[in-house]
Chain A
Amino acid sequence: MTGYSIEVQGGAAESLRLRRHRTLTMHSLGFGPNVSMLIYALDDPTERLNVPDTLKAQMSARIRPPMTLMSDMGRALTTVTGSSLDWHDAITGHSLPDAVERRYGPSSYAADRDDWRRSARSALLDELWKHGLGLRDLHANVNFFSKVAAADDVRGTLTYVPGHAAEGDWVTLRAEIDVLIVLSTAPHPLDTADAWDPAGVRLEVAEGSAPGPDDPARNWRAEAGRALELAERSYA
């Protein structure tokens, strides 16, 4: 088996192992999707995505191709090799249970069956638990398909941009080491839509190839090139 494709409905959670140089493409199946994603090194999950290190090394407050998502150990975990969008949020976290209930009203399996509204936090913690991980393993996540911009004012006022992504939008990640990916498709915590109606995504895992000397991720910034090199050393 060299690849597969699965659908994750809106408001659900998923976890998957992505082997080195395989790609994961996420396709939006509706309006306003959001994928809150955590990433861990598969061989040692205490090594995990570090958003501040990722942003400062690449001088960016947003995630976009060909940026490399870096771990706290300086290794490239995954590279955003392509996307129909040039902005994915990584600075505003994910939705919490109390906030979801305040915003959308109480919900339970008994009342709503499998349409019950679960926050990203609840779903991520359940998924993490299956891998022996928990609250202390949480770190800043990426919110793929969502945009939150800081104003050029004195506070850096943050504004969520509604409708940033639509059906058909996509983003591809290439694993640079073996990783564990845990994700939630609950709405972005700052989503302005009146009702809970999160879009689903299709996840497509495929064979990819190692980044060559001319790979855009290696050459667009020296910092990204060095993170790739640190990842490659683990397999040297």
Chain B
Amino acid sequence: MSDEFVFDDVVEAGAGWIGEIPDGTLLRITDLHGNQAVDTLFYDAHDYANRYSAMDTIREQGAAYLTTGSVLRTVNCDALATIVEDTCGRHDTLGGACSQESNVVRYGQHTRHQHSCRSTFVRKAKEWGRGLEKLDITHNINFFMNVPLTSSGGLTFEDGVSAPGKYVELRAERDLLVLISNCPQLNNPCNGYDPTAIRLSGRRP
């Protein structure tokens, strides 16, 4: 049986994507040019309060990084999606999304009006409507981003685990709403100081 393509989109640097994907869909995110952070939130399409929870996800899998086999869980520990293929190796879920406010804290007042992931989340959530609000913007996944933890309790943003063409593929375990910001951050190595486009494709096996 051949794959039936549901969508195949290129998301430019600093742009966003929001949409529903049905249970069983295979969602592939491709880092077209390498070193690009893809800030992603998942919701139960029928109950936005039952949303992705970074902390419940990493506690249940007993490990801080996401990779093949990781089950992405909601705040009620329901399975949202499973990572079924990962040519990058690992992904962050503790670094959160950049915002205008966190940029001021991290880099200074001069970055206040730079574009940020949370601005994209706000814009896409407003565009989507249907009750999706600020309260629903919670701690996200950063696909292709490298935020190593150390056993002594350190945490840093580093470059270097992704490369052009690397991809991660997820299987939806229920009907999902997916909200993505293709990160515009210029002040740290998460995008190699040069944000680039990603490809987003969905197919039903």
Surface stretch bound by B, among A10-18, A55-63, A206-214: A55-63
- Inter-chain contacts of A197 with B (CB < 8 A): none
B102 near A149 with CB under 8 A, answer no
- Inter-chain contacts of B85 with A (CB < 8 A): none
- Inter-chain contacts of A51 with B (CB < 8 A): 55, 96, 139
- Inter-chain contacts of A50 with B (CB < 8 A): 96, 102, 139
- Inter-chain contacts of A62 with B (CB < 8 A): 153
Question: Inter-chain contact count A-B, CB under 8 Å?
Answer: 134
Per-position binary interface string of chain B over residues 42-57, scored 1 when its CB falls under 8 Å from any chain A CB and 0 otherwise? 0000001100011110
Does A5 have its Cβ within 8 Å of any Cβ on chain B? no
Q: Which of A56, A59, A72, A96 has the most CB of B within 10 A?
A: A56
A152 near B151 with CB under 8 A, answer yes
A157 near B63 with CB under 8 A, answer yes
A152 to B99, CA, bound (A): 29
- Inter-chain contacts of B24 with A (CB < 8 A): none
Per-position binary interface string of chain B over residues 72-93, scored 1 when its CB falls under 8 Å from any chain A CB and 0 otherwise? 0001110000000000011000
A158 near B105 with CB under 8 A, answer no
A91 near B58 with CB under 8 A, answer yes
- Inter-chain contacts of B55 with A (CB < 8 A): 51, 91-93, 140-141
Within 8 A of A (CB), among B136-165: 136, 138-139, 147-151, 153-157
A156 near B96 with CB under 8 A, answer no
B155 near A59 with CB under 8 A, answer yes
Of all chain A residues, which has the CB nearest B102?
A: A53
- Inter-chain contacts of B150 with A (CB < 8 A): 61, 150, 152
B153 near A61 with CB under 8 A, answer yes
Does B123 have its Cβ within 8 Å of any Cβ on chain A? no
B135 near A46 with CB under 8 A, answer yes
Within 8 A of A (CB), among B147-205: 147-151, 153-157
B59 near A55 with CB under 8 A, answer no
Interface range for B: 35 or more
Does B10 have its Cβ within 8 Å of any Cβ on chain A? no
Does A139 have its Cβ within 8 Å of any Cβ on chain B? yes
Of all chain B residues, which has the CB nearest A50?
A: B96
Q: Which of B59, B76, B94 has the most CB of A within 10 A?
A: B59
A12 to B80, CA, bound (A): 31
B125 to chain A minimum Cβ distance, whole angstroms, is 13
B75 near A138 with CB under 8 A, answer yes
A52-B94, A74-B104 known; A156 vs B59 contact (CB < 8 Å): no
Does A230 have its Cβ within 8 Å of any Cβ on chain B? yes
Per-position binary interface string of chain A over residues 84-105, scored 1 when its CB falls under 8 Å from any chain B CB and 0 otherwise? 0001000111001011000000
- Which listed residue, A52, A136, A227, touches B95 by the CB 8 Å rule? A52
- Inter-chain contacts of B108 with A (CB < 8 A): 226
Within 8 A of B (CB), among A193-236: 223, 226-227, 230
A149 to B96, CA, bound (A): 19
B139 near A139 with CB under 8 A, answer yes
A135 near B75 with CB under 8 A, answer yes
Of all chain A residues, which has the CB nearest B103?
A: A74
A61-B155, A92-B55, A156-B64 known; A226 vs B94 contact (CB < 8 Å): no
Of all chain A residues, which has the CB nearest B96?
A: A52
Per-position binary interface string of chain A over residues 59-72, scored 1 when its CB falls under 8 Å from any chain B CB and 0 otherwise? 11110100000101
Kindly list 8 other residue pairs between chains A and B, CB separation below 8 angstroms, not including A61-B94, A91-B64, A154-B89: A73-B101, A74-B102, A87-B153, A136-B136, A139-B139, A156-B148, A157-B64, A158-B62
A-contacting residues of B (Cβ < 8 Å)?
A: 48-49, 53-56, 58-59, 62-65, 67, 75-77, 89-90, 94-97, 99, 101-102, 104-106, 108-109, 118, 133-136, 138-139, 147-151, 153-157
